[in-house]
Structure 1
Amino acid sequence: MPDPALDALMLPFADRRLAWPEAGALFLRAREGAALHAHAPRERVVCEQSFRPAHDALQRAGFQVRAGGGDAFPLVLALPPRQRDEARALLARALARTAPGGRVVAAMANDAGARSGQADFEALLGPAQSMSKYKSRVFWAGTGRADAALAEAWQGLDAPRPILDGRFRSRPGVFAWDRIDPASALLARHLPGDLAGHGADLGAGWGFLSDCVLARCPGVGALDVVEAEARALDCARENLAVHAPRVALEFLWHDVTAGLPRRYDFIVTNPPFHALRGEPRPDIGRAFIAAAAAAMRPGGQLWLVANRQLPYEQALASGFARVDEVARADGYKVVRAVKG
């Protein structure tokens, strides 16, 4: 898939305005793509990515990749996200991970907030050089004029904090980070109380649906909380700790589309239908359904919520013996599918 922000990020290296330091570079929220292959020396780039599919793609491409770290580099690259608090925290983290005398380079697509992203970048680091192409913008600066007080203020902007009157904890940048999204709320209203055995919540986010299952279904003895974004999974671990004395909980940082590691008696899911950069991807939802069908024990139930126009019927029919639409409201549908 095209990645305009990544293409823009590599422009100063393609034009030889910037060079890769011998001591190596750090790439925060890194993504694999053709521009990275063309212009980044694999042996001199350390990638950090907390989203498992992007993490795994970088690893398969031969890059050194990890979920986090603490060492400093003479060059730090970043692809700030659309969510502004998370983006500002990422810029502060990039500054903190830059060695003295080093440089920070960031890029954003125009429709993801490139203009305001550059303004934030320059507020933190001072005047920046920039280039625009691919409907995106790349900007870079040294650290000599950085605002230390602003960096300290921004470092905690994406930290976990209480939400929903303190019932849960979440953080900016996580899906529906400070609210219960309407689709999950609809599914929660229709979940039965007799789910039992070993289940899974696929794409669990900060843990809302898992909490509903565990609070409502005393027959559940074990639950796998499966989430691709490590930042969200950390919140789910906190939010579900109250259930740990009664239920065996396992938290899996995992890409559901790659398949599931065990068999289940039931699965609940509000599958994503957009990719990391926000483009529509209904194939992700179909892959969730296929993974659920392959991992379900005979007689097991899938409870799924989705936008009602998403074309999931064929995937459901091919994986399950019985498929029923349980509810339809506010543009969403709740489906119960039973494994034959």
Structure 2
Amino acid sequence: MRSERLTLALESGAVELPPQGRILVLRPRAGDDLSSLQRDRVQVVTGFRPDHDFFAAQGFDVATDPVGQYAAALVCLPRAREQARALLAQAAAHVQPGGPILVDGQKTDGIEAALRELRDMGAAPGAPLSKAHGKTFSVAAGRDLSDWAARDRLIDGGFVTRPGVFSADGIDHASALLAAALPEKLPARVGDLGAGWGYLSKAVLSRTGVAECHLIEAEAEALECARHNLADVRARFHWADALRFRPDRAFDAVVCNPPFHTSRDADPALGIAFLRAAAGMLTTSGTLWLVANRHLPYEPVLAELFRELEDRGGDSRFRLCRASRPMTRPAPGTVPRRPA
């Protein structure tokens, strides 16, 4: 969808790119087709590891932060409004004055709200091109959007978060349930799969017996927040796709509040892939501590993966489970597939 709009916008002349200079592409998603841009001019910037790895495998120059000035930018709009604003501010700060900033997104991503906000502030965006339930438009760099820049926020409990990371506005209820259910003593090596900004890992590190807690998190900004939130030498930080990560030694326990959305709709396949990944990271006597929405079909998968399964309660929305003794560990190098 994005590639169709981008190709049409460039071929029709609705938007124009300068003939020379680097092009900054902010936050494209794995599967996006950027072939209408000159690859040797493009730098993809994303902190989400699966997207980072996807574009790196295609031969793009990929980084987690913009460096220097660019002739133009393409902002791939996310759903979160504050994160979208922060990306627009980032583009405005790094594109040479007068250079085009292309903005692309689905209607469900808030592209019309972004267009309206830029118009209201007098940024004079060009006429949008509409296709495939989304829009592409351009605005000339030069306006100061620093008020929209991402800033750390302090939430209850003294935790630092940032716009766009999971549960940025407060402690996630499901994670709080799991933290409260953890036993007072845990084994030595614990992995936190999809660790976010570190709430569950802090709970793990408060238990006796823990020598190492490994935070595996795909979102670089969330992991950076976790570094602020966990001033503990036992914490180990891994910027990695949880579905592809393999520890140097198997964990004795894993805690997990797995994601289950790849878009606005629930996608149980993503959560199931997390369960399979967790089972593959554990010792043969290891334990998975899990919280998940009650409506998700995880129990048959857990029964397939583990010899022991125990319901540890929860509430009307979320189920707590303790699964132990994985059936088998996968062969080295094998990983669960990330849902499309």
TM-score with structure 2 length normalisation?
Answer: 0.89
Secondary structure of residue in 2 paired with 1:76: strand
- Structure 1: gaps spanning 5 or more residues: none
Secondary structure of residue in 2 paired with 1:257: coil
* Change over 3 Å in CA distance of 1:235–1:6 after alignment to 2: farther
The yes-or-no answer on 1:266 pairing with 2:263 is no
Work out which of the residue numbers 200, 217, 220 in structure 1 matches 2:191: 200
Superposed CA offset, 1:243-277 (max 9, x none): 33xxx2210000011142231000001011112x4
Residue 152 of structure 1 is matched in structure 2 by 146
- Report if the CA contact (8 A) 1:75-1:98 is conserved: yes
Secondary structure of residue in 2 paired with 1:125: coil
Distance of 1:214 and 1:18 partners within structure 2 = 52
Secondary structure of residue in 1 paired with 2:99: strand
Residue 306 of structure 2 is matched in structure 1 by 320
Distance of 2:240 and 2:290 partners within structure 1 = 19
User: Alpha carbon RMSD of aligned pairs, Å?
Assistant: 1.8
Work out which of the residue numbers 28, 38, 44 in structure 1 matches 2:41: 44
Distance of 1:60 and 1:14 partners within structure 2 = 27
Work out which of the residue numbers 55, 59, 68 in structure 1 matches 2:56: 59
Matches within 5 A, 1:1-340: 4-5=1-2, 7-20=4-17, 21-33=19-31, 35-37=33-35, 39-122=36-119, 123=121, 125-143=123-141, 146-148=142-144, 151-155=145-149, 158-164=150-156, 167-215=158-206, 217-241=207-231, 243-244=232-233, 248-262=234-248, 263-275=250-262, 277-340=263-326
Superposed CA offset, 1:114-137 (max 9, x none): 211112233373232211111111
* Change over 3 Å in CA distance of 1:51–1:68 after alignment to 2: same
AA of the residue aligned to 2:42: V
1:34 Cα shift? 5.4
Distance of 2:21 and 2:143 partners within structure 1 = 25
- Comparing 181-190 and 197-206, the one that deviates more: 181-190
Report the identity percentage: 37
AA of the residue aligned to 1:134: A
Secondary structure of residue in 2 paired with 1:129: coil
AA of the residue aligned to 1:147: R
- Structure 2: gaps spanning 5 or more residues: 327-340
- Report if the CA contact (8 A) 2:286-2:325 is conserved: yes
1:162 Cα shift? 1.1
* Change over 3 Å in CA distance of 1:7–1:204 after alignment to 2: farther
1:199 Cα shift? 0.6
Secondary structure of residue in 2 paired with 1:302: strand
* Change over 3 Å in CA distance of 1:164–1:124 after alignment to 2: farther
Secondary structure of residue in 1 paired with 2:276: helix
Distance of 2:164 and 2:7 partners within structure 1 = 24
Higher helix share: 1
Superposed CA offset, 1:50-85 (max 9, x none): 001111111122222111132111110001222222
What is the number of equivalent residue pairs in this alignment?
A: 323
- Report if the CA contact (8 A) 1:91-1:121 is conserved: no
- Report if the CA contact (8 A) 1:10-1:35 is conserved: no
Distance of 1:154 and 1:200 partners within structure 2 = 35
Superposed CA offset, 1:165-223 (max 9, x none): 5x1111111111121122112212211112121111011111111111111x1110001
Distance of 1:181 and 1:17 partners within structure 2 = 43
AA of the residue aligned to 2:143: D
Distance of 2:118 and 2:243 partners within structure 1 = 35
